[in-house]
Structure 1
């Protein structure tokens, strides 16, 4: 079968046309119906003059409509940029301008955001999605389309999806994922952990993250139903797990922890549930043990947007003696540890930079050849994470070579926060580091050097940050300092700042 996403759904619809494919707020579609809707969207894009390689953007919470728009665009050869709906209008405007999308599909609840960003971008079409009513621009576009496309040869090595991730320069970078990347990621995931055939999967992590998106392709590959949940709430998740007879789902550790606080878990019928996958930050062994007591297996995953999803998995069958690892590499991937300075391979047990190779490795960063060359060397993606492989091939993540902070499953890049904070007229210097947090894993803390005589306080610094960036990115605390530590070359010594946080008395 072709490794093109435009063909993937068509092949599944031909094989199991009447099996349930998608379950949303008000919709249930079998694969035949979903395939028809996808063809209609592809036809609409063609009628609007979009050509293979053109870009559209989606600003929506999890829904069947997102899947329809994505697969339909793929069938038309159009690239989809999935937007993080937690971002501020100016952040979204930068991404839209960078990728050059002129069509935006967005949820009605984001109408104010779109109104604010519209003057900053060149949008030819804006289509509203209303998950509750269904009488919206998106559905009207489907109804108006013929569903026929001119013949073209689908190329699996063409870009299918752009996912923007903030970089160390403070500007988001568009990760170019090809059809082959996403197909290979779905296939490797299925083969590695035994993704159930014709199962029922709950999508609760946002689809603008690779962890929320990749399972959709795995479900089509295996003929499984995808149940779309727009917003996470612990009680709601437990209700859907029971009512929809969910077999597996993915959630970050913080979500799993919050779910355990919900009432009446022991009274629910969860006999259909086979396992839950968790990652984005370390999964505590104690958390795994508590779910095991409920009869629910937890699988750990390690991966990145740049490898279209998972690079390795740990499963209970591998043994609790290696629960501190993130398991072994996926079926057709290639893990190696290298010296961060020389690139030379490191033997088992020695710490180095974690690198991943194989058909999942992304095609590079959109309009950023320098960053692409730095990230992909000899076909391997250099993750920026430090770790080691033991003599049995289990991967252990030790630390991050980069300064990235992971808070509640979200990636936060200090450089992006620093670039915003330094714009404040009373801030002379600033550095952002992560502080351990019991609930979120890590939270960003700003070390600030004020202008002499300034009375700038913590609340004002935090408000300045929140006014420019999404709330989840913003600093949660501020430490004022007379100067920031630097070495003889004037390089900022962030490890000293982190050490100060670790030894400070709790607030």
Structure 2
């Protein structure tokens, strides 16, 4: 049976001297890394953290996060990667919902931790550093055993990670990913695209996204070196790619657009760079072709948290004219398109809901059986995305059934914004929709009906969003209207809003 922590043990046994992790002021081989993971596992057991206990991690992309992931897996604990862009009340909800026992956090988040101390059930707070080994963290490891834990406490269908992803109700839902899910996702990744032993991978996509987490596990599985980049900067990214001889990385379109604008890219030595994987939002064909113009292959991935990562890939082994699609399902994965009204499987060219099947399908939502029942029907995950397949089996994502907005690769949920905006005393009704934007792909726009004899400004709405939500979630445009369009049963017609006021 699979245990994600044991992947690290196996890789250290097979490739002890291979560089595992590299970052600012640190480099560790797989042998060194596995010993550090075992020391952290021993510490966690010493703290009475047992099978099924939840460990929250508020870290950027660094070796601390990775150590926590593999150490927790070895003792049967469950890791909850926290989105460090969230506000205190958003993190409080997630931590309270999962009932985390311990939190590992980067030093830069100490002010946030102070806000969480009295509002959450966390009993242990473990601070790590930023760049390089942190003295306090090293003290925790010091004296602990470097040997493997006595027995594997969690495996197979046990939950290894809970990743929180917001739903249309506005409250985040914890997607439970099992050891088998994550291993299957690793197999799918490494058998679908050109991923090789001893590759050097730039980890810049944040680990609180499945697009960041899944490659972390895959790199250990395949025996690759992971170079951590905690904060994205387009010029620094190119410098690291050149200096560290990076072979591949995971990105979002916004990153690639920014990197393309850096002057002098064509003068860099990028011979090692084989592929840039890009997802989180549709990758424009023009962006793929622009990178081809400078000799770099960009390959598009369609990923879903509840599918443990990649669902489909378009690669350069496929026809270039198909780059407007999401490619084909990953190895050992399956996609079918059904009618949302009848559940009938549709023929090529017909648009319906995308269903995902295979060993990557998640276990369900933490403590939320109703949401699980809606999302999982038999062995299939109902994505809420509208799409189609063509005659050649290529998958196209057309729209979304859910009211989700993708802005710069980040998922924004209209219901969450609507809940916040509706707390303003002058707001009678509000509807938030995504509207096209040349830079971000989409941005959230709020349509507001004011209460009689009241007044509210655009800045008032922006301010209340910023006070309660992460910056990337905040509404970017506000329009005041007399009424909101509704259907016969009173449901707001958001499609009409988009068409009528575009």
> Shorter-chain-normalised TM-score: which range?
over 0.9
Q: Please give the secondary structure, in 1, of the residue aligned with 2:365.
A: coil
Q: Supply the distance in 1 between the matched residues of 2:138 and 2:336 (Cα, whole angstroms).
A: 47
CA deviation vs aligned residue, 1:121-140 (integer Å, no higher than 9, x gap): 12211111112253343322
1:152 is displaced (CA, Å) by 4.3
1:292 matched residue in structure 2: 292
CA contact (8 A) 1:334 1:357 kept: yes
1:210 matched residue in structure 2: 210
2:44 matched residue in structure 1: 45
CA deviation vs aligned residue, 1:243-271 (integer Å, no higher than 9, x gap): 00000001101110000111211110000
CA deviation vs aligned residue, 1:4-50 (integer Å, no higher than 9, x gap): 10211111111111001100222111110111011111111100001
Q: Supply the distance in 1 between the matched residues of 2:390 and 2:288 (Cα, whole angstroms).
A: 22
CA contact (8 A) 1:273 1:296 kept: yes
Q: Find out whether 1:178 has 2:175 as its counterpart.
A: no
1:452 is displaced (CA, Å) by 1.2
CA contact (8 A) 1:105 1:138 kept: no
Which 5+ residue runs of structure 2 have no aligned equivalent?
none
CA contact (8 A) 1:55 1:102 kept: yes
Count how many residue pairs are aligned between Structure 1 and Structure 2.
Answer: 501
2:347 matched residue in structure 1: 347
1:106 matched residue in structure 2: 105
- Superposed, 1:75-474 pairs within 5 Å as 75-132=74-131, 134-147=133-146, 149-474=149-474
Q: Supply the distance in 1 between the matched residues of 2:419 and 2:19 (Cα, whole angstroms).
A: 47
Q: Supply the distance in 1 between the matched residues of 2:143 and 2:398 (Cα, whole angstroms).
A: 54
1:345 is displaced (CA, Å) by 0.8
Q: Supply the distance in 1 between the matched residues of 2:98 and 2:415 (Cα, whole angstroms).
A: 21
CA contact (8 A) 2:182 2:360 kept: yes
CA contact (8 A) 1:429 1:450 kept: yes
2:476 matched residue in structure 1: 476
Q: Supply the distance in 2 between the matched residues of 1:138 and 1:175 (Cα, whole angstroms).
A: 29
Greater displacement, 72-81 / 128-137: 128-137
Greater displacement, 341-350 / 388-397: 341-350
Shift in alpha-carbon separation, 1:272–1:398, aligned structure 2, 3 A: same
CA contact (8 A) 1:44 1:147 kept: no
Q: Supply the distance in 2 between the matched residues of 1:407 and 1:144 (Cα, whole angstroms).
A: 46
CA contact (8 A) 1:60 1:105 kept: yes
Which 5+ residue runs of structure 1 have no aligned equivalent?
503-507
1:153 is displaced (CA, Å) by 5.0
CA contact (8 A) 2:73 2:154 kept: no
CA deviation vs aligned residue, 1:80-119 (integer Å, no higher than 9, x gap): 0000000000000000000000201111111111111222
1:147 is displaced (CA, Å) by 4.3
Q: Supply the distance in 2 between the matched residues of 1:138 and 1:420 (Cα, whole angstroms).
A: 38
CA contact (8 A) 1:44 1:144 kept: no
Q: Supply the distance in 2 between the matched residues of 1:493 and 1:88 (Cα, whole angstroms).
A: 30
1:150 is displaced (CA, Å) by 4.0
CA contact (8 A) 1:101 1:123 kept: yes
1:197 is displaced (CA, Å) by 1.6
Q: Supply the distance in 1 between the matched residues of 2:111 and 2:258 (Cα, whole angstroms).
A: 30
1:10 matched residue in structure 2: 9
Q: Supply the distance in 2 between the matched residues of 1:461 and 1:221 (Cα, whole angstroms).
A: 47
Q: Please give the secondary structure, in 1, of the residue aligned with 2:67.
A: helix
Q: Supply the distance in 1 between the matched residues of 2:152 and 2:298 (Cα, whole angstroms).
A: 43
1:178 is displaced (CA, Å) by 0.5
Q: Supply the distance in 2 between the matched residues of 1:258 and 1:56 (Cα, whole angstroms).
A: 35
Q: Supply the distance in 2 between the matched residues of 1:91 and 1:306 (Cα, whole angstroms).
A: 20
1:477 is displaced (CA, Å) by 1.0
1:27 matched residue in structure 2: 26
Q: Please give the secondary structure, in 1, of the residue aligned with 2:370.
A: helix
Greater displacement, 73-82 / 126-135: 126-135
CA deviation vs aligned residue, 1:33-86 (integer Å, no higher than 9, x gap): 111011111111100001010001000110011101110000110000000000
Greater displacement, 191-200 / 231-240: 191-200
Q: Supply the distance in 2 between the matched residues of 1:373 and 1:476 (Cα, whole angstroms).
A: 34
Q: Supply the distance in 2 between the matched residues of 1:90 and 1:144 (Cα, whole angstroms).
A: 37
CA contact (8 A) 2:234 2:262 kept: yes
Shift in alpha-carbon separation, 1:250–1:133, aligned structure 2, 3 A: closer
CA contact (8 A) 1:365 1:371 kept: yes
CA contact (8 A) 1:26 1:131 kept: no
- Structure 1 segments (4+ residues) deviating >6 Å: none
CA contact (8 A) 1:42 1:147 kept: no
CA contact (8 A) 1:21 1:226 kept: yes
1:60 matched residue in structure 2: 59
Q: Supply the distance in 1 between the matched residues of 2:136 and 2:421 (Cα, whole angstroms).
A: 39
TM-score (norm 1): 0.97
